[in-house]
Structure formats: C-alpha cells, structure tokens
C-alpha cells in the first residue's frame, strides 16, 4: 500500500482536505442513526426521575414509556436497551424479582410490543438491580459469587423476557457459561427468534458509577467490587477468549464495554471474528462529556467525534445515552 504513495510534492495529503465536498467524498467511516441503540431507565412510578450524575437523562416512569418509545421510533433509532429501577422492598438476596413474569421489565415489554413499534427491544439479563447486595450473582456463604447457581436464575430471567416478547436478551453479568445456558433454554422453549447480545468483554470499570446511581444499585453494593467476574482492565487476550466462547455458546452479537477506554479491544474483536460487534459508551463516558459540554469546556462536536471513533475501530453499533441527541443532529 505505501508503495503507492509518492513523496512530497507529488503527494500533498492536504489536497483532499481542501474542500468540504472532497473531505466528505473520501471519508472512510460514517455515523448514521442506524448505528445507535438508546439505553432507557424505566422506573415503577414512585421513584425520583432525576439522575444527578447524568444530566439530560431521566428515569422514565412506567406510564411514560410508550411515549418515549414513540419518540425513539420517530427519530429512527433502531433499538432501545431497557434497564429497570426496582423498588428497594423488592430486592432480595436471591434476586427473585428478576424472573417475576409480571415484574417491571416483562410488563414494559408486553406493553411496548402490543403497541407494535418498529423498534427493537433489548432487555438486560443480570441480577444487580434485583439483589439486596447489588452483586450480579447470588452469593455463597463465604461471600463469593455462585456462578452455576446464578445461571439458573439468569435462565429464568431470560425466559421471562422472551416470553413477554423481548426481541433481544442481553446477558450483562460476565458469569461463565451464561450464553450457552440461556440459548439452550430458549431453543428448548421454542424461542427460536430471540436474539442474544452478549456483553462478552465487560470490564470491572469505574465508568459505571452514574449507571449505578441511576438504577440504585450503588447503595446496595456498598463499596463492594465486581472484580471476581468482570474483566481486569489490564487484559486484552482474555477478551478474545470471552468473545470466542460466547459465539460458540450461541451469541448473535457481542459487545465490548466500556467503549472509549477499550477501543483497542473493539478493533481486535472485529478483526478476529467479523461478527456483529457493539460498543457501550457507558454512563461515566456520558457524564464526562456531558459535564464538560454543559460547562462550556468542550464543544458539542465532541459527541460526534467520540461516536465516530467507535465506527473507526470496527463497531457495528453503539449503545449511547447521546442517541436521541445525535439522532436529531444527523437528521
């Protein structure tokens, strides 16, 4: 490739940068509304809607969900990922509310599906919004997370979502074997079209802070960490193993999370597997950008730049709290 480039002055790379049209004409990557997935926090009515660490994002009361999805559809955003804010009194050590077939998420999914929007519904399969200790798994007596015991609960949870009509279930807890367990159960129960978006390489990250404020799992977690199951930020080969296993186990799409600090992982995964690959620009990334933009320290153009970086790295889609805002810009 480099043999084709002559030296200066035959080659002046600035020539093509001269005009708006020529810059657009040779641009390699683009961002469209089809690349976006919008995460939504839904709350059982009595909760506070404002999230201090995520200005511009609200917990959407159950009653307002259809209006919200209608807006998403109008903007042309292909899918939403919904996360529940569960009332404190429903949280238990074993997180049973997670598979209540009449719980908040199945209720919401049914309502949305009845209204027949052209918007994909992705549900989060993990226990942390439902456990009194805020961990994504159930605990053994010594306080470690019981991997295989957790799989049984996750499987029931995924089934309750699929049964309500969820288009995509997205296991986000990093237990070993969860994709296989869920895929097997979905097939067995006849949910052949339910897609699995695996949070395959999810790092033990400080960038989830505002999300934990939003769903109220921070207090439950009480300083506890998730390093026993989420990945170590120092590792990259392990991400390849995680993605490999999830594909073997039946994932349709994989995800890397957080996004910006892990662009190298997105790049490697896409190069290695050529499977639909998503990035999650998480709550802390949103808070950083939004906080600086609101103070005038960064211009709004930083949002687009942060998102096109994902496309450049190879991501096919991006979960971002900026989805609505950027969809408006793009239209």
Residues in the site for ligand PBG, rule: CB under 6 A? 124, 126, 128, 136, 172-173, 208, 211-212, 226, 282-283
- Angle between the N-to-C axes of helices 237-249 and 178-188, in degrees from 0 to 180, rounded to the nearest 10: 10
Least gap, CB of 287 to ligand PBG (angstroms): 9
Q: CA angle 29-329-266, nearest 5°?
A: 35
Q: Are 286 and 210 in contact (CB under 8 A)?
A: yes
Nearer to ligand PBG, 70 or 152 (CB): 152
Q: Which is nearer to ligand PBG, 128 or 167 (CB)?
A: 128
Least gap, CB of 11 to ligand PBG (angstroms): 43
41 vs 191, beta carbon nearer ligand PBG? 41
Whichever of 39 and 314 has its CB closer to ligand PBG, that residue is 39
Q: Please tell me the distance from the alpha carbon of residue 178 to that of residue 72, in angstroms, as a whole number.
A: 30
> What are residue 85's DSSP bridge partners?
43
Neighbours of 105 (CB within 10 A): 26
Given 226, 257, 290, 324, which residue is catalytic? 257
Q: What residue number has its CB nearest to ligand PBG?
A: 211
Nearest residue (CB) to ligand PBG, 191 versus 203:
203
Q: Which of 202, 270, 311, 324 is catalytic?
A: 202
User: Would you call 188 a catalytic residue per the annotation?
Assistant: no
> Nearest approach, Cβ of 282 to ligand PBG (angstroms)?
4
Minimum CB–partner distance for residue 59 and ligand PBG (Å): 13
Nearer to ligand PBG, 211 or 322 (CB): 211
Gap between the Cα atoms of 169 and 99, Å rounded: 13
**Which residue number, 88 or 272, has a Cβ lying nearer to ligand PBG?**
88
Is 202 in the active site? yes
CB of 321 to ligand PBG, least distance (A): 7
Shortest distance, CB of residue 212 to ligand PBG, whole angstroms? 6
Instruction: Supply the minimum distance, in Å, between the C-beta of residue 100 and ligand PBG.
Output: 18
Q: Which residues are catalytic?
A: 202, 257
């Amino acid at each position: 490739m480099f043999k084709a480039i002559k030296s200066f002055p035959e080659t002046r790379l600035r020539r093509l940068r001269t005009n708006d049209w020529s810059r657009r004409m040779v641009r390699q990557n683009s961002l469209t509304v089809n690349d976006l997935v919008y995460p939504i926090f839904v709350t059982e009515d009595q909760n506070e809607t404002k999230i201090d660490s995520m200005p511009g994002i609200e917990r959407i009361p159950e009653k307002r969900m259809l209006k919200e999805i209608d807006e998403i559809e109008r903007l042309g955003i292909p899918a939403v990922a919904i996360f529940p804010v569960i009332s404190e009194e429903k949280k238990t050590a074993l997180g049973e509310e997670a598979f209540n077939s009449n719980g908040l998420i199945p209720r919401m999914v049914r309502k949305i599906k009845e209204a027949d929007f052209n918007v994909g519904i992705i549900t989060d399969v993990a226990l942390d919004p439902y456990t009194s200790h805020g961990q994504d798994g159930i605990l053994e007596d010594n306080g470690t997370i019981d991997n295989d015991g957790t799989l049984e609960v996750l499987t029931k949870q995924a089934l309750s979502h699929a049964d309500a009509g969820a288009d995509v279930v997205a296991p986000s807890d990093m237990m070993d074997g969860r994709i296989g367990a869920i895929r097997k159960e979905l097939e067995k129960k006849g949910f052949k079209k339910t897609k699995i978006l695996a949070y395959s390489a999810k790092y033990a990250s400080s960038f989830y802070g505002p999300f934990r404020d939003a769903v109220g799992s921070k207090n439950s977690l009480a300083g506890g960490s998730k390093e026993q199951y989420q990945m170590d930020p120092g590792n990259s080969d392990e991400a390849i193993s995680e993605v490999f296993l999830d594909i073997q186990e039946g994932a349709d799409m994989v995800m890397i999370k957080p996004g910006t600090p892990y662009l190298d992982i997105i790049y490697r995964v896409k190069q290695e597997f050529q499977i639909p690959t998503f990035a999650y620009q998480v709550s802390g990334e949103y808070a950083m950008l939004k906080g600086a933009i609101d103070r005038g320290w960064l211009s709004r153009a930083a949002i687009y730049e942060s998102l096109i970086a994902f496309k450049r790295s190879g991501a096919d889609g991006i979960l971002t709290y900026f989805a609505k805002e950027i969809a408006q810009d793009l239209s």
